[in-house]
Amino acid sequence: MAVIALAGCSGAPGVTTSALALLLSWPLQAERKMILAECDPDGGAVLHGLLQGTLGDRYGLRNLSVAARKGEFSDAFWRQLIDLRGDDGAQQALRDRLLLPGITDASQAARLGSVWKILMQMFRGIEAESGHDVLIDLGRRGAYGPSAVMVEQADAVFVVVRNTLRCLQAAEGRVRALEESVGDVGVLMINEGPYPAGEVQRVLQVPVIATLPFAPKDARVLSDGVEQPRHFTRSPLMKAAQRSSALLAQYAARRRMRLDPRGSGAAGGGVSHAR
């Protein structure tokens, strides 16, 4: 199992929408969970997008700063998770796909300085003790500054890139900076533009590990909470997300084994009490 970070760049790559598609498609074995954490310092999007504000701001990352000061982080963490399953039978397969919503405004990021490290220790503990997968949505800025510990200790880091000229030009600097801080990174490509994966690899000099289609109608289900069309789970977007999930997980496992052949993981332990 793995802790995987998704980072964006300018050019509207769609990190959060991609992360949600992966979360809902991730292959899970019995007793496993998949957790998506919105760790974008500019603010999360799922509470007011996919969930359309129905839960207010009662849940989320901002509540963990107080818990950390009180020494109650572990219990508070599990209380902040939202189960994305629905009540109908078709949605029951999502019962182990959990969301930690992000902050609701960028101004709240200043209070999270000490939380990022504790949160990453929590993720590593969850992964090591229970074999749960963790997907971290870092948005455009979360791979740098105080939250950079998320990429430094992840099993794998993927830059979400659209294959348009604008996004590729923006992504070059982002990829180089991430390589300097964490070593090798991969690309999750959104296939909107004219450049094939091979050309994207040549320009960015890093491998394109997986590709998602540019599907605005289906993407709005995840980004804005619009009504799901029939057979949404079998749409090209969600089918590609299922294939991509397996590819990202395989890449993370290979990278982890290469960096740590003994399988001890990175920065394990910490404050976790996996549930």
List all residues 6 or more positions away from 266 whose beta carbon is below 8 Å from its beta carbon: 124, 153, 155, 256, 259, 260
Q: Which residue has the tokens 């000061």?
A: 69
Taking the CB of residue 19, how many other CB atoms lie within 10 A of it? Answer: 28
Distance CA 120, CA 154 (A): 8
CB-CB contact of 193 with 163 (8 Å): yes
Give every CB contact of residue 74 below 8 A, 6+ residues apart in sequence.
Answer: 122, 271, 272, 273
Q: Are the CB atoms for 192 and 214 separated by under 8 Å?
A: yes
Residue 269 corresponds to which tokens in the numbers above? 């332990």
**Smallest Cα–Cα separation from 58: which of 76, 40, 34, 71?**
76
Cα–Cα distance measured from residue 182 to residue 192, given in angstroms and rounded to the nearest whole number = 28
Residue 252 and residue 4 in contact, taking contact as beta carbons nearer than 8 Å? yes
pLDDT tens readout for residues 80-123: 999 886 443 333 344 688 999 998 888 888 888 889 999 999 99
> Do residues 24 and 70 make contact, with C-beta atoms less than 8 angstroms apart?
no
pLDDT reported for residue 184 = 93
**pLDDT for 146-170, tens place per residue?**
999 999 999 999 999 999 999 999 9
38 φ/ψ angles, rounded to the nearest 5 degrees: -85, 105
As averages over each run of 10 residues, the pLDDT of the chain (275 residues) reads 91 88 88 91 86 77 88 91 60 69 87 91 89 92 91 95 95 94 95 97 97 95 88 93 96 88 48 41
CA 264 to chain centre: 23
Q: What is the pLDDT of residue 105?
A: 85
With b meaning 16 or more CB within 10 Å and e meaning fewer, what string describes 137-148? bbbbbbbbebbb
Joined together, the tokens standing for residue 156 give 């794998």
Sketch out the chain's domains with CATH numbers.
Answer: 3-259 (3.40.50.300)
Pair 133, 32: CB distance under 8 Å: yes
Q: How far apart, in Å, do the first and last CA atoms of the chain sit?
A: 16
Q: What is the pLDDT of residue 91?
A: 39
Q: Which residues contact 56 (CB under 8 A, 6 or more apart)?
A: 47
Can you give the pTM of this predicted structure?
A: 0.89
Task: Report how far apart, in Å, the C-alpha atoms of 197 and of each of 18, 47, 162, 163, 174 are.
Answer: 17, 32, 10, 8, 18
